[in-house]
């Protein structure tokens, strides 16, 4: 590999090689995990390249292929399992210069991969009164391409499911890494070859996403003395077809009082809460529903003063992985898991077994039409062994864990090869230049996921 020869072929495409800046841009939020922090802290690329057009992406990938330089694509770098960490060094491909919204229709939007999700919503709201169906809680920073390649769902998933569902991504335009890079259009089920593949088998340059009607969503916090009452209420809200909600998230005490600093004046010590975003048309019905469930309305943004609203972060920035981020700012021994609890009884059992070692945080989502308890519980971390034990306790009790303490696609997901993604990598990245080390099936096809060992990418040693 010759990074110098690679760079010489890039013409006037912006490059950055100041080691301090390159190191900053070689990081995502991998430090959410103490396990990944120990493994990935030393990782850095050698140069950051920032193409401004699809043609420039092709120029970069042509040179990368020719000179054997690893390419790690990056949006805003908010992924939190090391997806955008350049395990083999090489070049970071910063996609944030490609940030245009190309076309807006009432029910869909076409944009470049570096478009920031919040900015996309501003434009679509203004043009046609529509917004993205769902977005990660990193809405204000995250890019469209990064969300599709590294994320799964978020605020709005209680109604619209996740990125994996057919119809959640209408089309992708990608560039391959070959002697002569190609532009390929993927639609229908083919988008799943590249969605949530961490950029290992194609660089997304454009995406078309479906839109939903936009509302002036109202932030609401409801308090309950017992967490299981909060969880029951959250499930009931998500199941109420007439209530138009975008976010429903029960958080167990002491999460709110300990970590939701700016909302503290509205909270009651010892209470668990349910965070909700509701459309104005459903606010009165929601208030009635809160009464029926004997909850306490702790905060309603529609009754707050302008000054209060200015001082408070939006409620979605208390939810999803922001819940953990707020805790980490106060207590750096906190980490988290990603789980799925098949029923409320599973939630109850895990809460009873693990107590305050696992402060419970759930996101209500819809998966294949079923309202589901998607867990993002915090973990009071003591050791890697205990973390593995907590994972085992979940699995032994019939709950799924998507391990966020692994940087590979398979180990963080379903612990098995995605053959469609692997086959597409053979076609689109025959030399394995794109984000090396993230797809076990490519690097080590014989790896046994059931042997109970974490896979370690050899290339990691080379960048020490």
Q: Per-residue contact track with ligand FAD, 7 to 46, x per CB under 6 A?
A: ---------------------xx-----------------
Using CB under 6 A, which residues numbered 181 to 210 contact ligand FAD?
198-199, 203-204
3-state helix, strand, coil in the chain (%, to 5): 40, 20, 40
Handedness of CA 371, 316, 26, 101 (dihedral sign): positive
Please list every residue from 392 through 451 that binds ligand FAD, using CB under 6 A: 435
- Binding part of the chain for ligand FAD, among 274-282, 318-326, 411-419, 453-461 by CB under 6 A, reads 318-326
Question: 173 pairs with which residues across the strands?
Answer: 185, 206
Q: How far is Cα 225 from Cα 136, in angstroms, rounded to an integer?
A: 29
Please say which residue, 76 or 211, places its beta carbon nearer to ligand FAD.
Answer: 76
Give the neighbor-by-neighbor strand order of the sheet with 370-375.
362-367, 370-375, 339-341, 400-401
Q: Per CB under 6 A, which region of 131-139, 222-230, 401-409, 423-431 contacts ligand FAD?
A: 131-139
For residues 442, 448, 451, 457, the Cα torsion angle rounded to the nearest 10 degrees is -20
Nearer to ligand FAD, 112 or 271 (CB): 112
Nearer of residues 95 and 274 to ligand FAD, judged by Cβ: 95
143 interacts with ligand FAD by CB under 6 A: yes
Residue 178 is classified by DSSP as S
End-to-end CA distance of the chain: 17
| For ligand FAD, the closer CB: 73 or 314 | 73
Which residues on adjacent β-strands are paired with residue 222?
274, 297
Does 72 interact with ligand FAD (rule: CB under 6 A)? yes
**Rounded Cα–Cα distance for residues 42 and 48 (Å):** 17
What is the nearest approach in angstroms of ligand FAD to the Cβ of residue 326? 9
Report in angstroms how near the CB of residue 325 gets to ligand FAD at its nearest. Answer: 4
Residue in the shown chain whose Cβ atom is closest to ligand FAD:
146
Q: Least CB distance from residue 395 to ligand FAD, whole Å?
A: 22
Beta strands in 4-100 (DSSP E): 15-16, 47-49, 71-74, 91-94
Determine the Cα–Cα distance for residues 436 and 305; give it in Å rounded to an integer.
51
Region binding ligand FAD by CB under 6 A among candidate stretches 63-71, 148-156, 296-304, 449-457: 148-156
89 lines the binding site for ligand FAD (CB under 6 A): no
Interacting residues toward ligand FAD by CB under 6 A: 28-29, 72-80, 83-84, 95, 113, 136-138, 142-143, 145-147, 149-154, 198-199, 203-204, 320-322, 325, 435
């Amino acid at each position: 590999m010759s990074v110098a020869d690679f760079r010489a072929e890039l013409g006037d495409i912006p490059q950055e090689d100041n080691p301090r800046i390159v190191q900053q841009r070689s990081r995502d939020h991998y430090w959410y995990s103490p396990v990944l922090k120990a493994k990935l802290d030393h990782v850095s690329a050698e140069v950051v390249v920032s193409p401004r057009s699809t043609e420039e992406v092709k120029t970069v990938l042509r040179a990368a292929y020719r000179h054997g330089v690893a390419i790690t694509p990056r949006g805003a770098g908010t992924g939190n399992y090391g997806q955008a960490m350049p395990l083999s060094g090489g070049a970071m491909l910063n996609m944030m210069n490609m940030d245009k919204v190309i076309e807006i229709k009432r029910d869909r939007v076409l944009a470049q991969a570096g478009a920031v999700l919040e900015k996309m919503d501003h434009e679509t709201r203004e043009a046609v009164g529509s917004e993205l169906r769902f977005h990660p809680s990193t809405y204000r920073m995250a890019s469209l391409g990064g969300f599709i390649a590294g994320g799964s769902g978020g605020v709005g998933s209680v109604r619209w499911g996740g990125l994996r569902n057919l119809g959640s991504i209408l089309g992708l335009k990608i560039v391959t890494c070959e002697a002569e890079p190609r532009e390929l259009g993927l639609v229908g089920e083919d988008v799943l070859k590249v969605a949530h593949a961490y950029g290992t088998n194609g660089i997304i340059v454009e995406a078309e996403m479906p839109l939903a009607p936009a509302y002036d969503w109202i932030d609401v916090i409801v308090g309950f003395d017992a967490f299981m009452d909060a969880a029951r209420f959250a499930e009931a809200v998500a199941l109420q077809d007439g209530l138009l909600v975008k976010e429903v998230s029960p958080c167990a005490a002491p999460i709110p009082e300990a970590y939701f600093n700016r909302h503290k004046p509205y909270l009651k010590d010892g209470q668990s809460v349910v965070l909700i975003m509701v459309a104005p048309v459903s606010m009165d019905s929601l208030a009635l529903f809160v009464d029926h469930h004997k909850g306490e309305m702790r905060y309603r943004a529609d009754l707050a003063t302008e000054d209060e609203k200015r001082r408070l972060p939006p409620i979605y920035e208390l939810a999803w992985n922001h819940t953990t981020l707020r805790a980490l700012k106060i207590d750096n021994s906190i980490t988290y898991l990603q789980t799925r609890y098949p029923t409320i009884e599973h939630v109850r059992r895990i809460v009873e077994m693990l107590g305050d070692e696992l402060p419970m945080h759930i996101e209500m989502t819809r998966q294949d039409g079923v309202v589901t308890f998607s867990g993002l519980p915090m973990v009071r971390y003591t050791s890697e062994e205990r973390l593995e034990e907590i994972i085992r306790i979940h699995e032994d009790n019939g709950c799924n864990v998507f391990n966020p303490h692994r940087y590979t696609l398979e180990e963080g997901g379903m612990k098995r090869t995605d053959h469609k993604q692997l086959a597409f990598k053979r076609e689109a990245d025959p030399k394995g230049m794109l984000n090396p080390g993230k797809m076990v099936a490519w690097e080590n096809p014989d790896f046994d996921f059931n042997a109970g060992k974490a896979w370690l990418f050899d290339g990691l040693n080379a960048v020490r």
